[in-house]
């Protein structure tokens, strides 16, 4: 092939590619995000049961006819109150106040009914309650779905040292009637 023929062929190819090219199709429409649990629907006090391993320290047996101290009930209170100082380890910028009493896993300050925790709603019917157990170096999350007056799901532990997470058990929380 001679140089003029080669140049003419190259020019023809450029014209064909230009004529056949067009703008890429627009991206498909983004489906609307799933609705988020309305915080006021989830707020309230819940009675809590879990399948977590028992981490209660052994109670000393009373002498004589004395009674054993009752084991504190596991409770969860979700408030519709933003935190003044958000938890930096929480995975949400929307953080609301919670109080959790989970014997063996939380420690209430003197004069309080439970340990401070953080909660936030997620798309769909999901809620996360995030707290730091007094022992160990990690965080715990109660990840559950709200259906009516019942919040239930899994309890997860995340190690601060390794970043590894594992499921510790399950929970079920039933909202107290007002």
Domain boundaries, the chain: 39-53+72-175
pLDDT surpassing 80 at residue 178 = no
Rounded to an integer, the average pLDDT of 165-172 is 95
Q: Give the model confidence (pLDDT) of 53-109 as tens digits.
A: 876 554 555 555 555 545 568 999 999 999 888 888 777 888 999 999 999 999 999
pLDDT for position 9: 52
pLDDT for position 132: 92
Rounded to an integer, the average pLDDT of 50-55 is 86
Structure tokens at 159: 């190690």
pLDDT surpassing 60 at residue 15 = no
Q: What percent of the chain has pLDDT over 90?
A: 49
Asked if 124 and 110 touch (Cβ cutoff 8 Å), the reply is no
Query: How would you write 80-109 as a 3-class SS string?
Result: EEECCCCCCCCCCCCCEEEEEECCCCCCCC
Asked if 175 and 45 touch (Cβ cutoff 8 Å), the reply is yes
Q: Which position has the higher pLDDT, 157 or 67?
A: 157
pLDDT surpassing 70 at residue 140 = yes
Assign domain 39-53+72-175 to a CATH class. mainly beta
Three-class SS of residue 60?
Answer: coil
* E strand spans, the chain: 44-50, 75-82, 96-101, 115-121, 126-131, 138-147, 150-159, 165-175
Q: Give the model confidence (pLDDT) of 26-44 as tens digits.
A: 555 545 555 667 788 899 9
Structure tokens at 72: 């504190």
Note the pTM of the prediction, 2 decimals.
Answer: 0.71
Mean predicted lDDT score pLDDT of the chain: 79
pLDDT for position 4: 54
Asked if 178 and 170 touch (Cβ cutoff 8 Å), the reply is no
pLDDT surpassing 90 at residue 5 = no
H or E element in which residue 4 lies: helix 3-20
Rounded distance, CA 117 to CA 73, Å?
A: 17
Contacts of 99 (CB under 8 A, 6+ apart): 75, 76, 77, 79, 112, 113, 114, 115, 116, 117
């Amino acid at each position: 092939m001679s140089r003029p023929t080669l140049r003419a062929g190259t020019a023809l190819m450029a014209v064909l590619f230009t004529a056949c090219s067009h703008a890429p199709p627009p991206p498909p429409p983004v489906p609307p995000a799933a609705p988020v649990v309305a915080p006021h629907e989830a707020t309230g006090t819940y009675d809590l049961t879990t399948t977590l391993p028992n981490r209660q320290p052994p109670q000393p047996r009373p002498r004589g006819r004395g009674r054993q101290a009752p084991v504190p009930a596991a409770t969860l209170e979700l408030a519709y109150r933003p935190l003044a100082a958000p938890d930096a380890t929480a995975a949400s910028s929307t953080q609301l106040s919670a109080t959790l009493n989970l014997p063996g896993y939380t420690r209430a300050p003197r004069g309080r009914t439970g340990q401070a925790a953080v909660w936030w709603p997620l798309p769909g019917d999901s809620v996360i309650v995030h707290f730091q157990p007094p022992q160990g170096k990690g965080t715990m999350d109660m990840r559950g779905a709200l259906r009516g007056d019942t919040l239930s799901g899994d309890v997860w532990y995340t190690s601060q040292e390794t970043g590894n997470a594992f499921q510790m058990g399950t929970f079920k929380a039933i909202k107290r009637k007002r």
